[in-house]
Amino acid sequence: MEQNIQLARHGLFDARVPRYTSYPTSPHFSADVGHETFVNWISAIPEGRQISLYVHVPFCRRLCWFCACRTQGTTSDAPVRAYLEVLKAEIELLRATLPKGVTLERLHWGGGTPTLLAPDMMTELAEAIYSVAPLAPDGEFSVEIDPNEIDDARLDALAKAGMNRASIGVQDFDPEIQKTIGREQSYELTESAITAIRARGIASLNADILYGLPHQTPEKITQSVQKLLSLSPDRVALYGYAHVPWMARRQNMIPEEALPSPQERLALFEVARKLFEWDGYTAVGIDHFALPSDGLSIAQKAGRLRRNFQGYTEDTSDVLIGLGASSISRFPQGYTQNAAATSQHIAAIRGGNFSTKKGHSFSANDKLRGRLIEVLMCDFKIDTGQIAKEFGLPKAEILLLIEPVASQFSDVVSLSNGVLKIPPAFRPLTRVISRAFDAYALSKTGHSSAV
């Protein structure tokens, strides 16, 4: 009870704070960064460097009501094939700009539903990408797979293209919850998809599951997690459902009266967390769980865990290029984002330009604060000495940023010998504490609740 009082005192149950998959967060990107900046930052990549590439496919056969991603529905392949041609043109623009010898440390296809691409489209897209930047020998190629939108032919095409990690969206297995969120997907269908994936030698499997959904109870999330555990994914993302109908109008289909309270959300998370840990998974950051043999667990143990737009990652590349509508790129110099509207993105590419609509150039202060937030989100601690060494700054300068935060949260964090730590009992407050390092005014739009 005392713990909940302290959590409430610091705003856990009513605060709206970013997920901090970037710093600053995307609502603070501006139109000052455009096509020319994007081209310059790509050109500045050293020859022979390993980078990461994200490809966004914004189409879905159905629009799930819980989803707040940039997607659009389609019942035919025609707009998807047209979009593929635009992606190929965008890749050719990249070819003309990218320095020689660049290879891919990570390649990820997301969406939307990238698996609605027909097999020949998957092959075309992979070949176009590899003709510009091949996958490194130890590179990872992951794809978000919808069990409702996959078959043997498409899995064969993905395996032949080199996919070696699959990501399955589960959300919840309870039929009532699935119907309420517009995402009907049986356990049997999910199991069949995973069996087919593994039959092709693709051993690495991610799964996403949500807490805070309508009609969700501790009993229901227990059943869903146990079913998921029976499928033995290598890593699991346990995300909190963010109800933001002012941003994603389709969420108005979800009855707000059926949503759990913030306190109930935390209880749901704790039930799921304990189940994953009891089954031998390592807690990674605030919302991921991984087997000890998985790369995320290994990276966390070695202090190499990072955070990007896909969440927690062991990807150490300092360049992530996003292709497709609304995709975000990260460079050592800052962020860029493509036009969110598919029509605007297509028009720009057909006109011979990248569709960069906005972005942000890092200041020295951005880099420092962003790194403080990242290590806090990844390691639940900030070592002043390590940060000072990393940035070539006096330790006292780092302490000037850390001490006020330690004072503000004195009852839930510790500061000793220059190391700020969040103990396990108060890690639900990590995003709230991270916000104290954020120099930008918070915007309600696009920000989710703290739990």
Query: Tens digits of per-residue pLDDT, 369-421?
Result: 999 999 999 999 999 999 999 999 999 999 999 999 999 999 999 999 999 99
* Per-residue model confidence (pLDDT) at position 95: 97
Torsions phi, psi of 410, nearest 5?
Answer: -60, -25
Beta strand 311-313 pairing with 320-323 = unpaired
* DSSP-assigned letter for residue 161: T
| Lowest mean pLDDT, pick from 47-61, 62-76, 158-172, 192-206 | 62-76
* Per-residue model confidence (pLDDT) at position 446: 42
pLDDT confidence of 442, banded at 50, 70, 90? low
pLDDT in tens, 315-364: 989 999 999 999 999 999 999 999 999 999 999 999 999 999 999 999 99
d(CA 104, CA 234): 22
* Per-residue model confidence (pLDDT) at position 449: 61
Q: What is the dihedral of CA 292, 296, 302, 305, to 10 degrees?
A: -160
64 pLDDT exceeds 60? yes
pLDDT in tens, 37-49: 999 999 999 999 9
Q: What percent of the chain is helix, strand and coil (3-state, nearest 5)?
A: 45, 20, 35
d(CA 430, CA 240): 14
pLDDT in tens, 254-273: 999 999 999 999 999 999 99
- b/e 65-92 (16+ beta carbons within 10 angstroms → b): bbbbebbeebeeeebbeebbebbbebbe
% of the chain exceeding 90 in pLDDT = 85
Respond yes or no on whether the N-terminal peptide bond of residue 303 is cis (omega within 30° of 0).
Answer: no
* Per-residue model confidence (pLDDT) at position 448: 54
d(CA 195, CA 128): 29
* Per-residue model confidence (pLDDT) at position 2: 65
% of the chain exceeding 70 in pLDDT = 97
